[in-house]
């Protein structure tokens, strides 16, 4: 496994309480691209696929949509791949992950329920990244999936929305969230930070809620990276933290509230709630 003493030694100290960035997320990715090769480059690609997912969802609705620059797949790539589907090509083009092919086939054949495209693509994405042989990366994505599912379930309960249709995947935590009615959805034994998520769900201050989520993620990363020193894993920990810090610094009370209300409204729309339902 490659060692990155120089890169790690050059890390700036970062904290969730920082009010400015010494290094941007984009600049750090560019630095990693110059340093990574082989399997390490493949691991970085897994994190960048999040932007490709965003671009794909934009593209299926608007072929002229502007793509996020951190994505790796171009509109031309997607257009070519779609055209090849007409010839029953079974393998994706170089650079396009296999789950894109699954999604595009389902979308093209109108198998996807309207409004559920993002959920389906997210399911396929987590299935794909869950196959990585790197234990740290695989467990991080599993943690992220479980945390997002639990927060979604808690939001649905708070606003009296059906839970099952909003949960991603079918692991043990997902299945319990879909059917349980007890306070912790019977997942405390499966997710060690359930108490923290329950506290987050009870927090009324939306910006503090966002910071609590980030703190929980950072605590997990610190705990699970303690035995890594100059390897790819510690660089990816810094990458994840830098992304969350950059996002946090872009928030203000108004945008934080709008983001949360947008989430709840999307949940309501997906389950077709009555027009007289209100967000409190």
In-domain check, residue 42: no
Cβ-contact 199, 184 below 8 angstroms: no
In-domain check, residue 112: yes
In-domain check, residue 39: no
pLDDT digits (tens, 9 = 90+) for 168-190: 999 999 999 999 999 999 999 99
Higher pLDDT, 118 or 257: 118
In-domain check, residue 37: no
End-of-domain residue from the set 82, 98, 133 = 133
The whole-angstrom separation of Cα 57 and Cα 61 is: 7
Cβ-contact 200, 216 below 8 angstroms: yes
Mean pLDDT for the stretch of residues 23-37:
93
In-domain check, residue 15: no
Q: Is the pLDDT of residue 264 over 70?
A: no
Mean pLDDT for the stretch of residues 235-260:
76
Mean pLDDT for the stretch of residues 216-234:
94
pLDDT band, very low/low/confident/very high, at 89 (cuts 50, 70, 90): low
pLDDT score of 152? 96
Mean pLDDT for the stretch of residues 103-124:
94
**182 & 229 share domain:** yes
The whole-angstrom separation of Cα 37 and Cα 44 is: 10
pLDDT score of 13? 86
If we measure between CA atoms, which residue out of 151, 111, 184, 165 comes closest to residue 263? 151
**176 & 221 share domain:** yes
If we measure between CA atoms, which residue out of 165, 156, 121 comes closest to residue 277? 156
**182 & 257 share domain:** yes
**119 & 143 share domain:** no
Average pLDDT for the chain: 88
Distance of CA 273 to the CA centre of its chain: 26
**119 & 181 share domain:** no
Higher pLDDT, 68 or 2: 68
**128 & 158 share domain:** no
The whole-angstrom separation of Cα 141 and Cα 127 is: 10
pLDDT score of 210? 84
**126 & 148 share domain:** no
**128 & 174 share domain:** no
**114 & 235 share domain:** no
Mean pLDDT for the stretch of residues 142-164:
95
In-domain check, residue 26: no
pLDDT score of 99? 96
pLDDT score of 211? 87
**String of DSSP letters for the chain:** ----HHHHHTPPP--TT-SS-SS-HHHHHHHHHHH--HHHHHHHHHHHHHHHHHHHHHHHH-TTPPPPTT----HHHHHHHHHHHTTT--SPPTTS-HHHHHHHHHHHTT-SPTT-HHHHHHHHHHHHHTT-S-HHHHHHHHHHHHHHHHHHHHHHHHTT--SGGG--S-SHHHHHHHH--STTTT-TTT-TTHHHHHHHHH---HHHHHHHHHHHHHHHHHHHSTT-SSSHHHHHHHHHHHHHHHHHHT--HHHHHHHHHHHHHHHHHHTT--TT----
pLDDT digits (tens, 9 = 90+) for 62-75: 999 999 999 999 99
**203 & 92 share domain:** no
End-of-domain residue from the set 133, 160, 189 = 133
Percentage above 90 pLDDT, the chain = 69
Q: Is the pLDDT of residue 126 over 50?
A: yes
Cβ-contact 150, 193 below 8 angstroms: no
The count of domains in the chain is 2
**145 & 264 share domain:** yes
When mean pLDDT is compared across 13-22, 46-55, 211-220, 229-238, the lowest value belongs to: 13-22
In-domain check, residue 28: no
End-of-domain residue from the set 133, 162, 189 = 133
**156 & 109 share domain:** no
The domain in which residue 191 lies consists of 135-242+252-268
In-domain check, residue 124: yes
pLDDT score of 272? 42
When mean pLDDT is compared across 22-26, 159-163, 265-269, the lowest value belongs to: 265-269
């Amino acid at each position: 496994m490659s060692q990155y003493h120089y890169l790690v030694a050059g890390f700036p100290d970062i904290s969730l309480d920082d009010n400015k960035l010494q290094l941007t997320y984009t600049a750090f990715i560019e630095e990693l691209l110059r340093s990574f090769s082989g399997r390490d480059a493949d691991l970085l690609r897994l994190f960048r696929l999040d932007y490709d997912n965003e671009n794909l969802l934009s593209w299926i609705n608007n072929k002229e949509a502007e793509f996020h620059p951190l994505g790796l797949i171009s509109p031309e790539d997607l257009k070519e791949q779609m055209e090849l589907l007409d010839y029953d090509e079974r393998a994706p083009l170089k650079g396009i992950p296999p789950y894109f092919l699954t999604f595009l086939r389902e979308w093209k054949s109108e198998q996807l329920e309207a409004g559920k495209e993002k959920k389906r693509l997210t399911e396929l994405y987590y299935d794909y990244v869950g196959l990585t042989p790197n234990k740290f990366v695989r467990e991080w994505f599993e943690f992220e999936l479980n945390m997002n599912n639990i927060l979604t379930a808690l939001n649905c309960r708070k606003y009296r929305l059906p839970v099952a249709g909003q949960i991603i995947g079918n692991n043990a935590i997902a299945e319990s969230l879909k059917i349980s009615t007890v306070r912790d959805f019977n997942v405390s034994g499966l997710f060690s930070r359930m108490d923290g998520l329950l506290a987050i769900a009870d927090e009324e201050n939306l910006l503090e809620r966002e910071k609590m989520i980030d703190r929980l993620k950072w605590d997990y990363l610190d705990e699970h990276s303690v035995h890594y020193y100059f390897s790819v894993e510690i660089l990816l920990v810094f990458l994840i933290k830098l992304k969350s810090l950059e996002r946090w610094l872009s928030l203000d009370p108004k945008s934080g509230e709008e983001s949360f209300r947008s989430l709840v409204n999307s949940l309501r729309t997906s389950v077709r709630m009555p027009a007289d339902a209100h967000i409190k």
